[in-house]
Amino acid sequence: MKKPVIILMICLALAPFANAITPFVAKCDDAGSVTIQSNQNIDGKVYGTKDRKTWFEVPGEWNDDLTVFRSEDMILNDNFNYGLKIDSPGVYIVDVYCPGYKFSCKEWNVSINSCYKRGGVFSADFNSVNHNGIYDLKYIFETDKGRLLVHGPLMYSKETKDMTIGYLGDNRYLLNLKTNLNITKFAITHDNCDSKNDNYYRYVEMYCNKSSCISDKDCEVSEYCDNKDFLCKALECNSCEKISEHECIPKCDDSRPCTEDECFEGECKFTAVDGCEFNNSCIPQKNVRTVNNISCFCTDSNEWVPQKKDNESCGYDYECLNDCIDNICAKKEKEAKGIIQRIIDFFTSLFSF
């Protein structure tokens, strides 16, 4: 009888410390997600720390039976051993190692703009945002015979080994693949995002058609007609250019003549210069032009102001319709006599009586 009593006393003695035994298992991945599994029904907030001094909330949700917590908010992004605190009721602390953020299907956005084959080269113009590496994505090519070719980080078809991808700026890329195959459909996905059962399923595809041309108007706006083989080809503009009606034009153009438009690594800078806008030109200050049928001058504040009439105060000739004389707008008196007339008058006065 003594043995059961002793066991009971030990259990009662350990009861206050039951919360010290952690009923949790935590896992962290390189997508910025953390999962906590519990053998109890828990519904409390979760906090994280690096130094056990400063704590921050880890947003997330418990599942329906309150045994699994998951956060996809990319809070634990560093390669580090974090501490997690679960507050419900009492306090539980569990350690978790995070490998550091690399890629998240939740944050990745991808779209295909066009795909085509020109002169033995299959090309695909697409946009991709928040990928870890452009060659970490999976590219799928389908031929007219129904054959699938794949190029991804884990495997690739031998026909795709020479595939290249160039950066066009603004998260836009151009894929090129030399091939004799007739590719009719192209798709992009990621090994972590290609299951339709995933919360963040990412899979985009496009049917591709070959098109010949005689002029640019036969092609897409983002293409031009190559007059060597008469095929539409994608424009490849640099980061300081944009596509407009089959050609690359300066990206940084605010269509204002009195600004200096500059571009550096795709970023625009517009700097105002002195002058007044007139017929798509920048007219220097103190110049006169007819604006809306009114004679005006460009002021020091870069504004068109009507010229002043006679008897109005002025500082310079360009401010007046006529002239500025002694700081008053007025007409200059014309010389009444020419030089010959003055000579005649001189001699007349000399010999007159």
Q: Give a yes or no: residue 22 inside a domain.
A: yes
Q: Give a yes or no: residue 88 inside a domain.
A: yes
Most confident of 129-133, 151-155, 235-239, 344-348: 151-155
The three-class DSSP label of residue 180 is: coil
C-alpha to C-alpha distances, 265 to 166, 193, 251, nearest whole angstrom: 16, 32, 11
Judging by DSSP bridges, how do beta strands 91-99 and 267-272 pair with one another? unpaired
Residue 343 DSSP one-character state: H
Q: Give a yes or no: residue 310 inside a domain.
A: yes
- Residue with the larger pLDDT of the pair 33 and 186: 186
Number of structural domains the chain divides into: 3
CA dist 118 and 97 (Å) reads 50
Per-residue burial over 146-158, b if 16 or more Cβ lie within 10 Å, else e, is eeebebbeeebee
Q: Give a yes or no: residue 257 inside a domain.
A: no
Q: Cα–chain-centroid distance for residue 309?
A: 53
* Stretch 258-273: mean pLDDT: 89
**Residue appearing with tokens 């008469």:** 230
Residues 125-181 have pLDDT tens digits of 999 998 888 999 999 999 989 999 999 998 989 999 999 999 999 999 999 999 999
Cβ-based neighbours of 278, under 8 Å, separated by 6 or more: 289, 291, 304
Report pLDDT for 196: 73
Same domain flag for 74 and 17: yes
Same domain flag for 211 and 116: yes
Give the whole-number percent of the chain exceeding pLDDT 70.
Answer: 86
Give the whole-number percent of the chain exceeding pLDDT 90.
Answer: 43
Report pLDDT for 54: 93
Contact 283, 299 (CB under 8 A): no
Same domain flag for 81 and 128: no
CA dist 216 and 125 (Å) reads 18
Given a cut of 70, whether residue 300 has pLDDT beyond it is: yes
Report pLDDT for 332: 76
Report pLDDT for 152: 94
Given a cut of 90, whether residue 297 has pLDDT beyond it is: yes
Same domain flag for 80 and 121: no
Given a cut of 50, whether residue 3 has pLDDT beyond it is: yes
Same domain flag for 95 and 144: no
315 closest CA partner among 189, 14, 323: 323
CA dist 93 and 196 (Å) reads 35
CA dist 45 and 86 (Å) reads 6
> Domain containing 147 — which CATH number?
2.60.40
Domain boundary residue, one of 180, 202, 218: 218
Contact 153, 163 (CB under 8 A): no
Q: Which two tokens stand for residue 289?
A: 């032009």
Report pLDDT for 339: 60
Domain boundary residue, one of 50, 77, 99: 99
Report pLDDT for 20: 44
Q: Give a yes or no: residue 345 inside a domain.
A: no
Q: Give a yes or no: residue 239 inside a domain.
A: no
Q: Which two tokens stand for residue 296?
A: 């005006």
Same domain flag for 205 and 155: yes
**pLDDT band at 351; cut points 50, 70, 90:** low
Same domain flag for 78 and 167: no
CA dist 67 and 287 (Å) reads 79
> Domain containing 29 — which CATH number?
2.60.40.10
Q: Which two tokens stand for residue 302?
A: 């870069």
Given a cut of 60, whether residue 2 has pLDDT beyond it is: no
**pLDDT band at 41; cut points 50, 70, 90:** confident
Q: Which amino acid is at 269?
A: K
Same domain flag for 93 and 29: yes
Same domain flag for 166 and 195: yes
Report pLDDT for 49: 93
Residues 10-27 have pLDDT tens digits of 444 444 444 445 578 999
CA dist 122 and 144 (Å) reads 14
Same domain flag for 87 and 157: no
Report pLDDT for 229: 66
Residues 192-225 have pLDDT tens digits of 888 776 678 889 999 886 566 778 887 888 888 8
Given a cut of 50, whether residue 314 has pLDDT beyond it is: yes
**pLDDT band at 4; cut points 50, 70, 90:** low
DSSP string, 191-215: TTT--TTSTT--EEEEE----B-SS
Domain boundary residue, one of 99, 124, 142: 99
CA dist 31 and 105 (Å) reads 8
Same domain flag for 178 and 92: no
Q: Give a yes or no: residue 312 inside a domain.
A: yes
Average pLDDT, the chain: 84
Report pLDDT for 193: 86
Report pLDDT for 42: 82
Q: Which amino acid is at 307?
A: Q
Q: Give a yes or no: residue 50 inside a domain.
A: yes
Report pLDDT for 320: 94
Find the domain containing 182 and state its range: 109-218
Report pLDDT for 18: 43
Same domain flag for 113 and 92: no
**pLDDT band at 89; cut points 50, 70, 90:** confident
